[in-house]
Chain A
């Protein structure tokens, strides 16, 4: 009796990897999913920090896809290992700080290690030729096979007919004619395939699945590296870049200002790690100070905090400042006028 062949599918939570997985399952292959958490993944919950997004469904799309398909999902924390991909991408960045080609090589390499450890036969992804300008091109897709070490154990079911045969096809583990020849950025073939498979509900993330493709996020990460003089980060750093209004009034410190209740609640969890401010006489945001500040800076930060409070038009606002590990103090300050706040403070 032929051995049951097993594949590991890279599940992002989007439609393409869902379809690729289902297509291979339908050919009698045992499929399990893997989802790599880099820290930069765009998740519904991250958006849901903001109160205005509370009505959106709170689900992890990768888990949801796995449950819908009836497969196991292994979620792997690659935060530390992934730093080198972000900081030193061999193939460079895309239009922002997105190292897409290095990222895909990294993830397929990790998947290849996983299948070797768990005696699986091959890897599948939802990649489509021409869909992404950096990692999903005819000339870069072979780079991923080569640099990941997966070689012909990497199968892209949605565009396999546009690519050379892979091991699972050659060995007859599955039928090439039941794979697809999708290409380009259009979504019609995927949507039609989903419909034919009875898949009606799927995530359609606006702006991709990674914060590094986001211009505003990349500006803030670049600022973090420049201000610290080193291209490094911790998980808390990259989480905080997703939240609040970020202002850099001076090179040596930055303020993170909650924009609404949900963000203020999230920032509350960081109070012990940062000098922070809040307005007492008027409702206002929680403000974290990232960097060392002196007495003059303290006065300026209090005025900025006052500006973002309900007392922005008042003659003066009382602000409480709690230095990291120190005693709280109070200042009565005039809110900073708009004319005194250059646009380039806002990151």
Chain B
């Protein structure tokens, strides 16, 4: 299982979700991705996208600088 980091800073909704979606598509189930965002909407949108598409948010935090970090575990591909 590999761990990855994805920079989605300075992007507004829905670009952080699109970047996450396009990054995750090539990863095997079980890999984890930390997504770094400055749009706090990502705290809602990335989890919503994960729930819809069978992935899991295993952590989310807001750093001192206001940056948001959402960690996603890639789920099994359904198609």
Enumerate chain A interface residues (CB-CB to B < 8 A). 35, 37, 41, 43-46, 48-49, 58-60, 62-64, 66-67, 71-77, 239, 265, 269
B14 lies within 8 A of A75 (CB): yes
B76 CB contacts on chain A under 8 angstroms: none
**Set A58, A71, A76, A265: member contacting B41, Cβ < 8 A:** A58
| Cα-based distance from A41 to B45 in the complex (angstroms) | 16
A35 lies within 8 A of B44 (CB): no
A63 lies within 8 A of B17 (CB): yes
Instruction: Report which residue of A35, A63, A76 has the largest number of chain B beta carbons within 10 angstroms of its beta carbon.
Output: A63
Cross-chain pairs A/B with CB under 8 angstroms, 24 sampled: A37-B14, A37-B18, A45-B12, A45-B13, A45-B39, A45-B41, A48-B40, A48-B41, A58-B44, A59-B41, A59-B45, A60-B17, A60-B48, A63-B49, A63-B52, A66-B52, A67-B48, A67-B51, A74-B21, A75-B14, A75-B18, A75-B21, A75-B49, A239-B12
Q: Kindly supply a per-residue 1/0 record for chain B positions 9-53, scoring 1 wherever the CB is within 8 Å of any chain A CB and 0 otherwise.
A: 110111101100110000000000000001111011100110111
Query: With contacts A60-B13, A72-B52, A269-B10 known, is A77 near B45, CB below 8 A?
Result: no
B17 CB contacts on chain A under 8 angstroms: 60, 63, 75
| Cα-based distance from A60 to B17 in the complex (angstroms) | 10
**Set B10, B22, B40, B45: member contacting A63, Cβ < 8 A:** B45
Q: How far is the CB of A50 from chain B (nearest CB, A)?
A: 13
Q: How far is the CB of B72 from chain A (nearest CB, A)?
A: 14
| Cα-based distance from A271 to B49 in the complex (angstroms) | 31
A73, closest chain B residue (CB): B52
A48 CB contacts on chain B under 8 angstroms: 40-41
A43, closest chain B residue (CB): B13
**Interface secondary structure of A, over-half rule:** mixed
A63 lies within 8 A of B41 (CB): no
Q: How far is the CB of A278 from chain B (nearest CB, A)?
A: 19
Count of residues in B whose CB is under 8 Å from the partner chain:
23
B44 lies within 8 A of A77 (CB): no
B54, closest chain A residue (CB): A72
B18 CB contacts on chain A under 8 angstroms: 37, 75-77
B39 CB contacts on chain A under 8 angstroms: 45
B51 lies within 8 A of A58 (CB): no
B13, closest chain A residue (CB): A45
Query: With contacts A45-B41, A63-B45 known, is A72 near B53, CB below 8 A?
Result: yes
**Set B10, B14, B40: member contacting A35, Cβ < 8 A:** B14
| Cα-based distance from A77 to B18 in the complex (angstroms) | 7
B51 CB contacts on chain A under 8 angstroms: 67
Q: How far is the CB of A260 from chain B (nearest CB, A)?
A: 16
Contacts A43-B13, A45-B12 known; 9 new A-B pairs at CB < 8 A:
A43-B14, A45-B13, A45-B39, A58-B40, A60-B13, A60-B44, A63-B45, A64-B48, A269-B38
Q: How far is the CB of B77 from chain A (nearest CB, A)?
A: 12
B14 lies within 8 A of A46 (CB): no
B53 lies within 8 A of A46 (CB): no
Q: How far is the CB of B37 from chain A (nearest CB, A)?
A: 11
| Cα-based distance from A191 to B8 in the complex (angstroms) | 37
| Cα-based distance from A72 to B40 in the complex (angstroms) | 23
B53 lies within 8 A of A43 (CB): no
Q: How far is the CB of A114 from chain B (nearest CB, A)?
A: 13
Q: How far is the CB of B63 from chain A (nearest CB, A)?
A: 15
A13, closest chain B residue (CB): B14
Query: With contacts A44-B41, A269-B38 known, is A63 near B14, CB below 8 A?
Result: yes
